[in-house]
Each structure stands twice: as C-alpha cells, then as structure tokens.
Structure 1
C-alpha cells in the first residue's frame, strides 16, 4: 500500500539547509502517461546519481519524486563526505571473504570522487571543503584508527594522517578527545544545495524531474515496467527504485529489507568568523568514532552544525535541542547558552549487515538502499553502479547483488527494540573503552 502523505504537503522540513538553499525550484507534478528509457523513483542522491550517469550517455531519464528534490536524507544530513561503508573492511573481509573485501576496498573513495567531479563540471555551489576528522575518545578508539589506517593503506588509500592529543587540538578546540585521524580525501558541503545542483545538472542533460508526485505502485511486464502515481504514470524498459528510508510500502518486496532510523541535527546562531574559527581552526568537519556518535562542522556563514543520536524505527524525539545540546556543550563548553536557530530530524535506511544493498526484482526493476548512515558517498557510487547495470555492464552490480541479505532479528514488529538493545551494548563498550 502506498503512503501518499509521508511527506505532508511535500514541503521541506524547517532545517537550516532548507532556509539557506540557493536554488528555488518550481515543482512540476506528473500528469498523464509518459514514456522514457529509464524511470527513477526518488530524487535523492542515489536517484540523481543514477540519472545523471545515464543522461550523460544519452538515455532519456524521468525522475519521479514524492516530495521535493533532496527532501529526505539527501537534504537533511550532516554534509560530511566520509569515505567507506558503515561496515568496516575488516567486517567485510570476515563476513564475505578476501575477494569481496578487495573489491569493496577498490571503490571506497569513488563516491567522493563523483561528487568532487560534478561540483567542478557542473558548477554546483554547495560550499565544498576538503578534509574530515575521525575523533577518538579513548585509547581503544586510537588503536582502532591505527588499524584502520593500516588496512586502508593496503587497499591503496594513503590519505590518512593520525593525530595525537596535542595535534588534534590544532583542529578541534575541545579537551574531550585523546587523538584522531584526518582523511584528506574526505570533506563537507551543504547537502541540499548539492542535491539541487545535481538536479539542475540532470535537467541540463535533458532529464526530467516530477516532484510532489508520490508513487503508488510499480508493476512490470516482459518488456517494460510502469511507475504509477495518483495522476499519471511513466513507462520504461528499466525502473530504478531509490526511495531508501522513505519508500514505505510502495514496493512491498523491499519494505522489510531496511529499517528507517532517525538522526537529529541543529544549527546554532551565526557565531562570527573569529568565534567559529576558535572552535574549528582548520575548518575540517568532525565525527567521533563511537557506536552512537556525534558529528559537527562549520557552515559557510559560521554556524556550528551539530548532529548525533539515533532512534530506531524512524520516529522523531519530542525536543531535538534538548537531546543534542548536552552533547554539544560537552564537546564545546564555550557554547553554553548559545542560541540554536534551527533543529530538525530525518531518517536514513539501515541494513542489518550495514552494507548497502543492490538488487533486481524481475527483469525490469532495480533497487539500491541501506547506506546505514554513510549515504553521501555510498549513494553516488551505487547510483553509478545502477547506471552501469542498465547499460548492460553487470560486473559490479552482480558482485553486490550476490551478497546475502540478512533480515533483522525480531522481524518488522520487534526489529527496533532489538537494535536499541544492541546499541546499548556497544555504547557501554565505548564508555568502558573496550
């Protein structure tokens, strides 16, 4: 069953990103029956990436979005270009073997490369800056980062620089961290402006985007598939389903594969250049390496954007600021009583394995989802791999599609409770430093 009201009236939530977006679109709803080479469901990063890659090769691409471009996680996230999957290379090796780990390791920086390339090629204005920091609270965290640096180096990734307690203070003016690691190939940007810029790029290539057009169902026959909305349809030889955490029950076969998980963010009042620079002198974005982590960065107008926490099942906390402010003031006591101008929440799609899922339903419908909190780079990469599959190159698609899907313990009824219990255990390990 469809969820036509999942986005309310389709307007952006009251986030800092929505308030500071630099492209104001005039939404066009899908009316009547449309033909295309490829129909993409969802105008977030996955869908836009796949669509641009196909349009660059001459495909007639139609994107159908239930709300607005970047309405979901793509326009609400932390804005951090973090390389890698949620599941570590060590986990991938243990679970799927050395060959799969070598394959995954060969493409962990590819998603970031797509973003950097398109920002330059299409002139996307999204305040892109290079470099991100993984921050460590404990000696165990530092040992984990040292192991990560060595493992990533084995896969040809040499842009990681370890920081001791003294050196991390050069980047983060906070007493809470014992050290960290810079990934010089990472970065941060305004995520909604990136999505809006990619939409503009797609349209410059001849792609068409219908917004405020919730999909009510997807059917397929021997030669084509049909994407239906309340007021129209798109018929195409290939359909790419990229609804991720906000797909709902539109494609029932996918509903139980991922679980929506909400995370929260807030943006302070403008701090001024001097005060902002005193917090993060080098302007790099930061995420700590705990299981339930905090992440933060400076905006172009010198606000601190601070996020963290999860709610399994995708519900929003009653008071986002009350939830996040203690964490922010623990890291930066100097921000005590600083005004918060914006606070919002949004869902990402969690897979139980923490590895994104690619697959095909029948012969005409492809899907990608489950980036598990690492969606900025993963979605751009998997969008490219979806496009490769549509063009007939299934090499990388089949490698991911062959990885076994692991259902959530407890089923849909109890998966949120099970995941919450598991997170308590990992949070305890973080507190104990083990």
Structure 2
C-alpha cells in the first residue's frame, strides 16, 4: 500500500474537499446535500475513525455529515457539534461570544488536518478491479485493516501536543485522534482505482482536559521505517549519495506528470535541487497541446465560429481562455466565480487580460472595491459569439444557460 500525505487548510475544506473529495473526486452539483451527492456519484458515505471519537460524542463507523466536516476542518478546528452547542448556550442565556467560544476546541488554527490518500499497489488494485466479488471483498478488508493499523501507529508513536513556553511540554493525546475516511472506487480519469482519503484532524485533548493541536513530525519518510519494516515492505532510495536515478526522475516528472514539489518531498530534497537535476539530465515536458491534453481541442471543430473569435481560435491556450471566460462571466462577483469553480484568481485575471489583448477590446468592468463584475458591450458580443461553442469547449450546460439569462 502507498500513501500520499498533504496538509488540510481551513479554506481547502470548502474549495476542494466538500466539493470533490466527499463525492469521489467528482464535481458536486451546487446546492445538493452531501448525502444525496454521494448517492448520485455511487460512493459510500464517509465514516469516523480513531480513539478520540468518544470525547466528541461520536462513534467509530458513524456516518460523517457535512456540518461535522465543516466545523472540524473548515471552521479552523471547532467541535463537530459546534452548532448545537452554540444554540444550547444561547438558549441558556449565554452571550453570543461565550456561546461561540463553547464550541471551540482550543485555539483556532489554519492548518486543520492532514489528508492521507491510501491506495494498494498496482498489481493489487488490478486484481481488485478484474477479480470476482470474493476477491474484491478480501482486498477491501485488507485495505481497511492497513489503514486502521496506520492510524493506530500515528496515535501511539507520532501524534504529539506541544504546550507551555516555546512548546517545552510535550504529550501524546491520551484519548487518541479523530479522522474521517472516504472510500473511492475510481481515479479522476474514470479508471477503476481503489483508494481512501483519511482526513486526520490536528485537534487532540491533553491530560488536563484542554484541547491543543497535534504535531505530526514523525510522518517524515525517514521516521516511517518501523511501520515499513513491520510489514516487510522494501524501501527504495532513488537518491543514493545525493545523486538521482535519471530513469526514476524521468518517470516521475514526464510520464506521471508529477509536480516538482511532490518529487522533492519524495526524494527528501529541496525544490532547487530537483530543478538542478532536471537541468542536468535535460528533462522537459512537451510544450503546446501535447503538454496540455486536458485542454486539447481539435482545430477543425471551430470552422463555423463567429469571425469575431478568429484571433483566439489558433491554439489550445486561446481556447482555454475562452472556456474560462464562459465559466466566469456569468457571475456578478469575480472572486465568487473563482471560488465556485476552484480557480486561481490571479490565473483567471491574467487569462482575461490576455483574451482582451488578443480580441482588441475590454470584456468586463470591475469596480475598485469588491471586484464586482459586469460585461461591457464588447464583452456581451464576445459572449454571444462564444455561447454556440460552449459544448465543444467543455462548458457545462447549466453554466452556459446562466450566461444566456444575463444576456
């Protein structure tokens, strides 16, 4: 089994996890309850794990609700039932400030958890995908047992709460930690792939009953050896003596299309060192359409396009900007559109500027504050010209329909 590890920040719970991870890495429809969206996506509901559940009034195997996830991971580390606790305190006559504080688990934090993505080895998940029902059940049971064992190891050997001046006092959370597990059956490409997201909260209770934040320094690869040795798994050193294996680097960077940051984390080196390796071995990704397959569009699909759009139909980069324009232009607020679609505001803003330069006119008017957005007359003309191409640009029907209502 392999595991990818990344931190969870409060804002990511809204932008990514509650929109995609909870529904099998798909796109959760707007205004759809989480449980209903999971049923539509064909993935099971999330389940709670960990020894620390009893303190929070939860039970192992209990279904994870949206409000619980939002409070624990999205609201900077509040109690899963913070809404109920706050309402009870207000009814009892407490002030709003004290009622809000009653639902907090210690100090509010920005890094609210750690996301583990567990997946079997390729040969195992291929056997799971092609085998019979009994084979699948056996593999899934072994997969769940491995996840439970890793969580036990984290509780016993890794999780530490530091407190006091300069964090001089260190203690393991006696009640354990809390985690939410989400089972997925497919990769983003649609291929069968058994894997689980384990969202581990950083919140833990000290011996004196106060809540603190756990540190997981022991998750660094060099400290995982005891767990690896327990299962007899081989460890591969791709960088003996500070030198990298060129074949491994080529596979990671070009074939698997991994980021430089992820490669640096695996190799236990800095970003700069990986950049130097890539220059030394002259490894570069293909440019143009080959390097952007996600936004690759056949050129002959747009022969019937409006002449107004001819300057921006020459390559995939132009078509991608048109796609972003259609997705964002129907929103009254620039920031709202970016958050709704999980897009970088800087990237979208640059895309609009380049599209305006290519077309020779201003597409939107933005206020100096609040970034409220309104299409100019030229922008409306461009939108009407692009709308017939919406389906071929990969824009969802509801997005293009919303823009038609505005026009």
Instruction: Classify the TM-score, shorter chain.
Output: under 0.3
Query: TM-score by structure 1 length?
Result: 0.21
Which has more strand, going by share of residues?
1
Which has more helix, going by share of residues?
2
